Amino acid sequence: MYAIIESCGRQYKVAEGDVVFFEKLDAEEGKKVKFDNVILFSDGKKVQVGNPYVKGIKVEGKVVAHGKGKKIIVYKMKPKANYRRKYGHRQPYTKVEITAIKLPTAKKAEPAKAEKKTAEKKEA
């Protein structure tokens, strides 16, 4: 069972137990995070594709850690003009462990209450 979710302007394929690196999320370590924008869901037999999102399916995760990625070096130079700039950048990320993919639960109507209401209407 897996789902494709949209978060931080990107799409991620996730399954229960996966560890995914998202761009920085506003959540503390150890807190739960919910992703409602599910684009595609597959349970192995049936595939549901959203228009644009699949209704009722939610993905839950737990924030494991925050950190920074590898450093990339940016170097600008213009020859013969004595112009050189060197600086680095480290992109912040949030490490999330996917704990569950929640399916919509069907609410069952209690037939006893429905029968009582129809019986009361007939008597009146």
Tens digits of residue pLDDT in 74-100 = 999 999 999 999 999 999 999 999 999
Q: Which region among 26-30, 59-63, 108-112 has the lowest average model confidence (pLDDT)?
A: 108-112
| Domain span holding position 118 | 2-123
Residues in contact with 56: Cβ distance below 8 Å, sequence separation at least 6, in sequence order: 103, 104
pTM beyond 0.85: the answer is no
Q: What pLDDT score does 104 carry? A: 83
- Number of domains into which the chain is organized: 1
Backbone angles phi, psi at 25, to 5 degrees: -105, 150
